[in-house]
Chain A
Amino acid sequence: MNRRTLLSTAALALTLGFGTAAAAQDVTAGFIYVGPIGDGGWTYEHDKGRLAVEEAFGDKVKTIYQESVPEGADSERAITQMALSGADIIFTTSFGYMDPTVSVAAKFPNVKFEHATGYKTADNVSVYSARFYEGRAIQGHIAGSMTKTNKIGYIASYPIPEVIRGINSAYIHAKKVNPDVEFSVIWAFTWFDPAKEADAARALIENGADVILQHTDSTAPQAAAQAAGNVITFGQASDMGDYAPMPRVSSIIDNWAPYYIDRVQAVMDGTWETKETWDGIGPGMVGIGEISDAVPAEVKAEALALKDAIAAGDYHPFTGPLNKADGSVWLAEGEVADDSTLLGMDFYVEGITGDIPQ
């Protein structure tokens, strides 16, 4: 290519660039992921949201992402890098990115930040999360109804309010249908480590659990349950339908796509504002995967009724009377937990034994 064609191409590219910019403002949306997009769970669903953004806006939006970014100091570097590379809005999709996100946001006042599952906001930092505990209430109901050993195993990731809320919600609803139910919680201290998750599932099964709930992102517990036979599991974050109808009997599905499209649209329109979003089954941010035939028909009907009641706002999974694990009263008869208590939840409800790691 000689210099003249090079120059004219550059000129053409410039004109085209300005042309599209004038037609509709181009937006670059960045995503920071905690796991690989192929984890089949949490990150996989966020990436589906990213792809939905691309689909919705076509050429008007450019998306960039970085996978498997460790939480902590390294994520600050990755987020800064993404802001420097020209992203207009950056979604940081794990709890552990909270402080790094806030600190990078202070340095880039013109870039919008969206932090998933956190609680710290700023002028250019929004937070968003889903009310997964609503889905876990339904799982707990099915789990309590179906366990034969009355032992339910729970693979938990980190001791943060989000995870503790899930354990409490599942326990309350399992206990409602089955007063003899017991929960064994294993803290894995990881969001994604298939080998460790498989070992944790096996340890729970060997200790007598015939239902495995998980708050980690891989499908390894499903595989372990399948090998053990006669153990049921639930899809976490994603449908995990490959393991249906047994061992996976239902699932909680995160559906971020509408939110992502909405927020990118807001950046395009210049209407983006700091917002705290916490949506559940009703608005569709939390989906319940198909309840498989392995679940008895009447349990399935009860579970779906529970889902409808939650979606309609007729029932709140944290409704009193409820006591804390130390015996003190938390919610009186008919009282409903307020969001700030839920967001900062750091205690088990009465009946769950064991300590929450600090």
Chain B
Amino acid sequence: MDLSSINPILLIASIMVSATPILLAAIGEMVVEKSGVLNLGVEGMMITGAVVGFAVAVNSTSPAAGFLAAAVASALLSLAFGVLTQFLLSNQVATGLGLTLVGLGMSSLIGKPYEGIKSPTLPKLDIPVLSDIPVLGRMLFSHDLMVYLSLVLVACVWAFLKYTRAGLILRAVGESHDSAHALGYKVVRIRLLAILFGGACAGLGGAYLSLVRVPQWTEGMTAGAGWIALAIVVFASWRAGRVAIGAYLFGGVTVLQLNLQAAGADVPVALLSASPYLVTIIVLVIISALGAHGAPASLGRPFHASS
């Protein structure tokens, strides 16, 4: 075993890249769930974002346009979920699962002509001064823009939910939609906005996969990342900071186990391979044991003003 061949600087840089798509999708889903809606369609929205972002980036040769289009497309897809669950009161679990299936199917249809093409990818930002810091510069300050945007987004969501009036209303809607309704807040409208935001974030996460992490389009390329994002929201007990920790932990264990294998670590490979999931489960168990759940009280319950 030669663990010295693992370079911690490169390792942490890799972790940041591998955690970003899950982080984006998870922070969006957290806002959706905070408003009391359970959208299980994250995987479908992510892959839609991946394919639309890729198609637009290839055709316009602008990755920025790709990210924007991915956010819009996934938000539109989530709007379908919003209309079905908020106006037509369809079952949220079933509709969310349907959304995943629709997204997976539609994306493979849209993606057919784009197989085997390389996409323009985001340039790595070499932030002046900061990226010249010895060790830290390479590790933290020479990524592409989206890595930083995702972290800024987490901070914004945290501040929004904690300090703003609108954030308070969103949480109120998620805790007790009847009370919020009685106070005169437009429950359905607020939830639709949250769903749109969640969709846009999932789309960005998907586009990050197809434009930066893998830089190409292949069918089924999200390979369960959306489900991991859903698990991380629970893992984080619906707190923004913990969502970031969860995503980095999951991304970190994933990348670390590959590095340990590459370095020839003397640990059973099956154990290494399962370790991201094992660690997630262990932390979930610990959190449950501590009793800090924090699930919004109205999560998954349908709301209609007449009831």
Contacts and interface: CB of A to CB of B under 8 A. Distances in A.
Interface of A: 35-36, 38-40, 67-68, 153, 184-190, 192-196, 198-200, 202-204, 206-209, 218-220, 223, 226-227, 242, 353-355, 357-358
Interface of B: 5-7, 10-11, 14, 18, 21, 108, 111-112, 115-118, 121, 209, 213-216, 218-223, 225, 254-255, 258-259, 261-264, 266, 268-270, 273
B218 A36 contact: yes
Nearest to A204: B262
B223 A194 contact: yes
B214 A198 contact: yes
B116 A219 contact: yes
Given A207-B6, A355-B269, A40 B218 contact: yes
Contacts, number: 116
B218 A219 contact: yes
Contacts of A192: 218, 220, 223
Nearest to A68: B220
Contacts of B264: 184, 353-354
B269 A223 contact: no
Contact of A242 (B10, B11, B118, B223): B118
B219 A39 contact: yes
A206 B259 contact: yes
A84 B173 CA distance: 51
B292 to A, nearest CB: 31
Contacts of A358: 270
A186 B258 contact: yes
B290 to A, nearest CB: 31
Residue among B21, B218, B221 having the largest count of chain A Cβ atoms under 10 Å: B218
B258 A357 contact: no
A332 B244 CA distance: 57
Contact of A186 (B213, B220, B262, B266): B262
A202 B213 CA distance: 10
Given A184-B264, A355-B269, A199 B258 contact: yes
A158 B13 CA distance: 28
B200 to A, nearest CB: 21
Contact of B261 (A67, A185, A242): A185
Given A199-B255, A206-B262, 18 more contacts: A67-B219, A184-B263, A184-B264, A185-B261, A194-B216, A194-B223, A195-B209, A195-B213, A195-B225, A196-B254, A200-B258, A203-B261, A207-B6, A209-B262, A220-B216, A220-B218, A223-B118, A227-B121
A209 B218 CA distance: 25
A112 to B, nearest CB: 29
